[in-house]
Amino acid sequence: MSKLAGLLERLDIEPLDVDLYRGFSPRDGRPRIFGGLVAAQSLVAACRTIEGRVAHSLHGYFLRAGDTSVPVLYHVDRIRDGRSFATRRIVAKQHGKAIFNMSVSFQAPEEGLEHQIAMPDAPPPDGVPTNVERLRAYRERSQHPAIDFLLKLDRPIQRREVDHVDLLDPAPHEGSQRMWFRAEGELGDDPVLHQAVLTYASDYGLLESSFNHHGHSFLTEKLIIASLDHAVWFHQDVRADQWMLYVTQSPRTSGGRGLNFGHIYSEEGVLLASVAQEGLMRIRKPK
């Protein structure tokens, strides 16, 4: 099975009853379910309960670490169906407890005023090393077990970090960080699938903006990091199998948390989606 086919299979969640679905996660050695997968499966569950409207925003909270050894049950609550907007609430559960909840707002197609902020300059994606190439270079420098683990993971999303921070010797990085990404293959024409894949991929690299600012990477042993919430606003139709530039920045860290914002542009410079996430960023106390 190809890398992308595995993700698409997991996004095709199983209907169990009215407004009840079951999703699975890969047994790939992760200590917990990847948050982007739970958010993407929740979005798919919500979209299965509505017609004639497209998701324009989602807002979710990570409540407990997901267990990769058991399925996730997704219950959809049809909060509201109006003439222009509709709302769905999704609760993801394992072992009888909620691990994630999310609200999704849908809107019927509508014309209106338009503007956007310009995409920052960035070198073309083909001129930027892939993350796999960078990891292979790290493997020549270090025997850190996390590098071997990351090299073994399936990667349905290809990523190319323009503003890469050295994982082994991170220097403080202020300002925005840019990353090209796209699905590792064609996705067809289902708009829900493209939104779900973008939601999945938007959880990559976002938290780094906050702790990279302070000279840390996710390999910093004294740093405890975890996503607390996740929000996406879709500004128009997206093609997640075409190159997109993810521009992220962290305006504030405090209270053991880091706030991060992101903008996702098409290669032509169209702002497709905006993202926000707050994450736990706690310094481990010495024993």
All structural domains of the chain with their residue ranges: 1-108, 130-287
Q: pLDDT digit string (tens) for 44-57?
A: 999 999 999 999 99
* 256 Rama class: left (phi>0) / alpha (psi -120 to 50) / beta: left
Question: E strands within the chain?
Answer: 14-17, 20-23, 54-62, 72-81, 85-94, 97-107, 157-161, 177-183, 223-227, 229-234, 244-254, 257-266, 271-283
- Closest to 160 (Cα-Cα) out of 270, 245, 276: 245
Q: Does 254 qualify as catalytic in the annotation?
A: no
Choosing from 25, 203, 250, 274, the catalytic residue is 203
- Name the active-site residue from 25, 195, 227, 274: 227
Q: Write down the pLDDT at residue 151.
A: 87
Per-residue pLDDT tens over the stretch 58-99? 999 999 999 999 999 999 999 999 999 999 999 999 999 999
pLDDT for 233 beyond 90: yes
d(CA 13, CA 178): 32
At the top level of CATH, the class of 1-108 is: alpha beta
DSSP H stretches of helix in the chain: 3-11, 35-47, 131-141, 145-152, 191-201, 208-212
- CATH topology agreement for domains 1-108 and 130-287: yes
Q: Work out the angle at residue 153's Cα, subtended by the Cα atoms of residues 148 and 155, and round it to the nearest 5 degrees.
A: 130
Residues 144, 217: contact at Cβ < 8 Å? Answer: no
Phi-psi region of 185 (alpha: psi -120 to 50; beta: other; left: phi over 0): left
Of 26, 105, 41, nearest in space to 75 by CA: 41
d(CA 155, CA 184): 8
Question: Which amino acid, 265?
Answer: Y
Choose the catalytic residue: 25, 103, 209, 277. 277
Residue 178 corresponds to which tokens in the numbers above? Answer: 């840019």
For residue range 99-145, list pLDDT tens digits in order: 999 999 999 999 999 999 999 999 999 999 999 999 999 999 998 88
Bridge partners (DSSP) of residue 245 are: 180, 265
Q: Mean pLDDT across the stretch 142-154?
A: 86
Contact by Cβ (8 Å): 211, 258: yes
Active site residue 77: no
Active site residue 203: yes
Q: What is the pLDDT of residues 2-18, one digit of tens each?
A: 789 999 999 999 999 99
At 78 the pLDDT is 98
**Which tens digits make up the pLDDT trace of 161-186?**
999 999 999 999 999 999 999 999 99
Spatial CA neighbour of 43 closest among 155, 159, 202 = 202
Residue 166 to residue 220: CA distance in whole angstroms:
11
pLDDT of residue 29: 79
CATH classification (class only), 130-287: alpha beta
| SS3 call for 30 | coil
What is the pLDDT, as a whole number, of residue 179? Answer: 98
